Structure 1
């Protein structure tokens, strides 16, 4: 087991040296920059100050012999052969991440219930997308106006992008996606976008509030927290109309297997068989937490839900700067 230290930030993580240093850095929550992850683009270059690294094959094309002689390495390809001290500028703000327009292919389409489809998009070739958990992309098709969809998977695997698409009444693009689009269809995406993303440096307990397919970016955040072994208390509240609208059982699985993750489903139009909480999802949070002063809240879903949560949570002690939101606006510009 080797220790990797980034002298630029003082952050440290451990690796067995079996895989690329970049992979272990991302797993441990360090936002090392990267591009293709195949050794071609050179965006993951770092300067090795102390220690030894190696490559499984020849030195990749993304780094020159002169750069290697100067102590540089490609973190997406090299692995540690000893304790390593290196210097790399980590991404710590939205301004550090470049918005790209990339081709993508529909890898799979799965209907999760009567009006929500899970789409996996694959970015081909030597391209990839670096993003923060919680951000979204614009999906582009030549026959429709671009539409925004939140990324539903954690950022550790950026060659596959997961989306949760709700069939919107009168939405031409979502109707096409839900009923007509086939696997291997070619599209484009533009992103990442949005200032709704998980603040990893905080130690405050987290309340994640989702309405409908607002669960998608919440899923990304939780999966990232699990991958990075985050120990903060996480409370997931998912609001929907009926039980069938809770289209994944993942939140309960998280709660069953991780002591720091808690799940509360809430239905606004529950039938007699429902034994859980009812009403508006933000009201359930208010009932469960008498004082929200020490919490961070991430709210994603319909604008009315987000607005109500913001107003009532502040009245119950939440600090405004600890409230992060993404309101889904379906008409004209967004279909999340």
Structure 2
């Protein structure tokens, strides 16, 4: 049995149409849906950070107030919301579907302080070797739950035989229980050697997260420079995918520094640059051979060569500590404000042989 709830439905909504418009009065963000999935899934799939927890209608973390429009539940109204709350126009976004245009009120997550760190059991869905020292791992969170995070954050990967190891999340924070990691093989690193050479599909692991204050600042209007080294591309990928999903029109300049052409383990940046006029991509090789016709040297130096002033830019730097430090020191001299520099340095040296 399907339960429909009506809240201040005006005549402009009493009509049939193939797409409904959902507007959050708090943020002013708008998206469209066919009403086939619940409103939470539709919002997250479009890059909006609506809050959620269990996604089963029990915890109540996805509550929102409907100002105008019609929504419906399949089956009984979930236990995570009381009859009194329903009478006040409140709904559970993880369970209700749009039946008309809907105006709602919900506080979207926009900082790491808004998101609870949790532990999830997961199963290895797939393993793909990008090149000789980078592997892509997809982890499927068990059950119907998902990890809520901001683009750029990381998780701790937990295996009983090793110390927990931090890996950046490489896919956008849409509503999926799949977590993508880009893992670089570290010499004498026990955990990364295990992942690279021994980890099998369907293996069981745990993740804990999200963690870290390296994340995409959506409210800013400044143009963006992304400086990444090696597998620092992983969280950059999550940020770009999120920007594309949310239809951001901010100018985005990607600089990816690697040792040689093998280090450019995916052609996604080239695809983004070709498909989106607000995205540019510059690969930089530090040990290029004679056949390479592109940029060479240190990646931060290519940024300095292209931008005389950095006062109007936000910079996100992710990769080896030396790269991040060089970028921060030199970019400030070009006018970049320190508060506009966000970084995540991959500190391998402090972890010894526990990797």
**Residue from 271, 290, 304 that aligns with 1:286:** 304
The corresponding residue for 2:38 is 20
**Residue from 104, 116, 120 that aligns with 1:102:** 120
Deviation track 1:109-135 (CA, whole Å, cap 9, x = no partner) reads: 111100101000110113211000000
The corresponding residue for 2:106 is 88
Q: Which whole-Å CA distance do the structure 2 matches of 1:332 and 1:179 have between them?
A: 23
- Identify the range of structure 1 (161-170 vs 38-47) with the bigger mean alpha-carbon deviation: 38-47
User: TM-score, with normalisation over the residues of structure 1?
Assistant: 0.94
User: Is residue 206 from structure 1 mapped to residue 216 from structure 2 by the alignment?
Assistant: no
Residues 135 and 196, structure 1, Cα contact 8 Å, conserved in 2: yes
User: Is residue 265 from structure 1 mapped to residue 295 from structure 2 by the alignment?
Assistant: no
Residues 40 and 126, structure 1, Cα contact 8 Å, conserved in 2: no
Which residues of 2 match residues 92-171 of structure 1 at below 5 A? Answer: 92-171=110-189
Residues 148 and 333, structure 1, Cα contact 8 Å, conserved in 2: no
3-state SS of paired residue (1:255): helix
Q: Which whole-Å CA distance do the structure 2 matches of 1:223 and 1:148 have between them?
A: 21
Q: Which whole-Å CA distance do the structure 1 matches of 2:328 and 2:266 have between them?
A: 26
The corresponding residue for 2:68 is 50
Residue 84 of structure 1 deviates from its aligned partner by 1.7
Q: Which whole-Å CA distance do the structure 2 matches of 1:29 and 1:105 have between them?
A: 25
Q: Which whole-Å CA distance do the structure 1 matches of 2:67 and 2:86 have between them?
A: 12
Q: Which whole-Å CA distance do the structure 2 matches of 1:325 and 1:193 have between them?
A: 14
User: Is residue 230 from structure 1 mapped to residue 239 from structure 2 by the alignment?
Assistant: no
Task: Please list every run of 5 or more consecutive structure 1 residues that lacks an aligned counterpart in the other structure.
Answer: none
Q: Which whole-Å CA distance do the structure 2 matches of 1:24 and 1:192 have between them?
A: 22
Q: Which whole-Å CA distance do the structure 1 matches of 2:209 and 2:317 have between them?
A: 21
Residue 61 of structure 1 deviates from its aligned partner by 4.7
Which residues of 2 match residues 282-321 of structure 1 at below 5 A? Answer: 282-321=300-339
Residue 34 of structure 1 deviates from its aligned partner by 1.1
Residues 29 and 228, structure 1, Cα contact 8 Å, conserved in 2: yes
Residues 133 and 221, structure 1, Cα contact 8 Å, conserved in 2: yes
Residue 73 of structure 1 deviates from its aligned partner by 1.6
Residues 298 and 324, structure 1, Cα contact 8 Å, conserved in 2: yes
3-state SS of paired residue (1:206): strand
Deviation track 1:273-310 (CA, whole Å, cap 9, x = no partner) reads: 11110000000011011111111110000000000000
Residues 299 and 326, structure 1, Cα contact 8 Å, conserved in 2: yes
3-state SS of paired residue (1:76): coil
Aligned residues: 336
What is the aligned-residue RMSD (CA, Å)? 1.9
The corresponding residue for 1:180 is 198
Which residues of 2 match residues 50-89 of structure 1 at below 5 A? Answer: 50-89=68-107
The corresponding residue for 2:266 is 248
Residue 48 of structure 1 deviates from its aligned partner by 1.6
Q: Which whole-Å CA distance do the structure 1 matches of 2:350 and 2:34 have between them?
A: 49
Residues 20 and 79, structure 1, Cα contact 8 Å, conserved in 2: yes
3-state SS of paired residue (1:120): strand
The corresponding residue for 1:322 is 340
Q: Which whole-Å CA distance do the structure 1 matches of 2:272 and 2:21 have between them?
A: 29
3-state SS of paired residue (2:277): coil
Q: Which has the larger radius of gyration?
A: 2
Q: Which whole-Å CA distance do the structure 2 matches of 1:327 and 1:63 have between them?
A: 43
